[in-house]
Structure 1
Amino acid sequence: MSAADPRGVAHRLAYAGLIPFVAGCALIWLIGGRDLDQHAFVSLALSAYAGLVIAFLGGIHWGLSFARGLPGRQPFVWGVSAALLGWLGVLMSPYAGLALHGGVLIACYAMDRRIYPQLGAADWLTLRFRLTAVSSLSCFLAAAGS
C-alpha cells in the first residue's frame, strides 16, 4: 500500500483510532482508586470517545445510503439510534456507560454485517471486526475497572 492509497490511509487511521480505547482502558486500571479525580477524568474521556466513534459508525450508514441510493429507512434509523445510544452511554456512570458502549460497538458491527453488503462495502468487514474486537473489549475491561 502506498501513502497515496486511500484504502491504506483509511486502514492506518482506523487502527490509530484504537489508541484512545486501549490507552483509556489501561489508564483506568493503572490509576485505579488512587486518584479519584484522574480516574473520573479518564473514564469520562474514554466514554466520550466511544460515544463519538459510535455516532461516526452510525453516520457511515447515512453517507453510504445517500451515495448508493439504498431503498428503505433502516440505515437512517440505525444511524440516529447508534448516535443516541452513544450519547446515552456518556451520560451514564462509567461502569454502566462503558459497558453499554461495548455492547453498542458490537451491535454496530452486527448491523454493518447486515447492511454493508447491500451498500457495496462488504470488503471493509474484516477491518471492522478487528476494530470492534479491540474497542468493545477495551470498553468492557474499562467498565470493570470503574
Structure 2
Amino acid sequence: MSDLHLTPSPHAAEPPQLARRLGHAGLIPFVLGALLVWLVAHNPDAHAFVTLALAGYAATIVAFLGGVHWGLAMRVDGPGPRSFRWAMVPPLVAWLGVIMPAYAGLALLGAMLIVCYVVDRRLYVVNGQAHWLTLRFRLTLVASLACFFGAAGT
C-alpha cells in the first residue's frame, strides 16, 4: 500500500482511505447487533447475550473516542490538561452504559456517541483535525441510531 492511503497531507480534505474503510467496517457490529436484538427477542438467553454484546461494543467505541483525546493531549504541542480530563469522561460513561440495564445503557451509549461528536466538532478544529469531522459525523449517526434501535428492542 502506498503512503497516500495511510497518511494525509497536513491540509488533507479527508482522512486516509484506510481509516475511512476501517471506520465503516467498524459499523458492522453496531448494525448487526441492533438487528439481532430484534431478531432474537423471543429467546431470552440470546437476547441478553446480543444486548450485552452490542452494549460492550458501543462502550469500547465510546472509550476509544476518549482515547483519541488522550493521544492528542500527549503531543508536545497538545491542548493541555483540559483534553486529559475530557479523555477520561467517555470511558467512565461507557462503563456505566455496560452495567446499566440494556434499555437504559444502550440509550446512554447512543447519547454519549453524540456528545463525543459534539465535543469533537470543537476540539478537532482546534487540534488541526477538522478533516475527520465528516467521517466522524457519518459513523456517529449510524452507531448512535443502532444503539437507540437496540435500546428500543429491549
> What corresponds to 2:75 in structure 1?
67
Determine if contact 2:36/2:50 at 8 Å carries over to the other structure: yes
> What corresponds to 2:19 in structure 1?
10
Q: Extract structure 1 runs of 4+ deviating beyond 4 A.
A: 1-4
- Gap regions ≥5 residues in structure 2: 7-15
Give the count of matched residue pairs: 145
> What corresponds to 2:13 in structure 1?
none
> What corresponds to 2:62 in structure 1?
54
Say if 2:131 is the partner of 1:136. Answer: no
Q: Structure 1's 68 and 139: CA in aligned 2 closer, same or farther, altered over 3 A?
A: farther
State the distance in 1 between where 2:138 and 2:76 align: 25
> What corresponds to 2:119 in structure 1?
111
Q: Pairwise CA RMSD of aligned residues?
A: 1.6
TM-score (structure 1 length as normaliser): 0.94
SS in 2 for 1:55: helix
Structure 1: which amino acid aligns with 2:65?
A: L
State the distance in 2 between where 1:23 and 1:111 align: 27
Choose the corresponding residue for 1:88, options 75, 93, 96.
Answer: 96
1:1-49 CA-partner distances (Å, limit 9, x unpaired): 96961111111000000000000000001111x1000000000000000
State the distance in 1 between where 2:54 and 2:77 align: 34
SS in 2 for 1:120: coil
> What corresponds to 2:11 in structure 1?
none
User: Shift of residue 76 of structure 1?
Assistant: 1.1
> What corresponds to 1:27 in structure 2?
36
State the distance in 2 between where 1:2 and 1:133 align: 30
SS in 2 for 1:129: helix
Q: Structure 1's 9 and 3: CA in aligned 2 closer, same or farther, altered over 3 A?
A: farther
Percent sequence identity over matched residues? Answer: 54
> What corresponds to 1:39 in structure 2?
47
State the distance in 2 between where 1:124 and 1:65 align: 17
Determine if contact 1:24/1:42 at 8 Å carries over to the other structure: yes
TM-score (structure 2 length as normaliser): 0.90
Structure 1: which amino acid aligns with 2:17?
A: G
Structure 1: which amino acid aligns with 2:80?
A: G
Higher normalized helix content (fraction of residues): 1
